[in-house]
Amino acid sequence: MKRLLDGLAAGAGLAVLSPVLLLVAAAIRLDSPGPVLFRQTRIGLGGREFQILKFRSMVTDAATRGPFNTQENDPRITRVGRLIRKTSLDELPQLWNVLVGDMSLVGPRPDVPAQRGLYTDDEWRERHLVRPGITGLAQATLRSSGTEDQRKALDLRYVREISLVLDAKILLMTVRQVLTRGGN
């Protein structure tokens, strides 16, 4: 049921939001050279790798110009990038990842392969019993604050308590976060 609802919501979201997607893509293209989309290898259901899609919010050579994680006032973030991050518009291409089954609307954060060492073997297996989500309990609760241990605990709690009711609560919390605090 969750997969069916994810697919329907992602398809509808892509259709309804297509004008916004086109405007964001045009703004990125006009603001800085390089691709409109950022692709990165992430770990999904069953430990399978997939390419996550996001609107590019940083300069194209950002990986060679600074730390892996962004910092406050990071100079690698473009002008349009600041806006789309603040409003979470950079996440919208992940609806495609949901539509094709790599992700869910709600789930644990999708890990990059380098994060494997943050988890015990049991935690790693448990995390990947479900599809990663565009949003999740950790994002909706902590947003950009909180420690890695707090995020990990909330992601694992989600896996253990997964339900459509919990998904609905997390989606509502996320919408409230984006509307009241301006995204990331």
pLDDT in tens, 42-78: 999 999 999 999 999 988 776 666 556 666 677 788 9
Inform me whether the pLDDT recorded for 4 exceeds 90.
yes
Inform me whether the pLDDT recorded for 182 exceeds 60.
no
User: How far from each other are the two terminal CA atoms of the chain, in whole angstroms?
Assistant: 29
Collapsed DSSP state (helix, strand, coil) of residue 59 = coil
What's the farthest any 2 CA atoms get from each other in the chain?
Answer: 46
Which tokens go with 107? 């789930």
Least confident of 14-23, 104-113, 149-158, 174-183: 174-183
Cα separation, 132 vs 124, in Å, equals: 12
Mean pLDDT throughout 120-145?
90
Cβ contacts of 4 within 8 Å, gap of 6 or more: none
- pTM equals 0.88
Of all residues in the chain, the percent with pLDDT exceeding 70 is 91
Cα separation, 177 vs 182, in Å, equals: 7
**Where do the domains of the chain lie?**
2-181
Of all residues in the chain, the percent with pLDDT exceeding 90 is 64
- Write the DSSP string, 92-135: TTHHHHHHTTS-EEESSPPBPGGGGGGS-HHHHHHHTTS--EEE
- Over the stretch 82-110, which tens digit does the pLDDT of each residue have? 999 888 899 999 999 999 999 999 999 99
Instruction: Summarize the chain as % helix, strand, coil (round to 5).
Output: 55, 10, 30
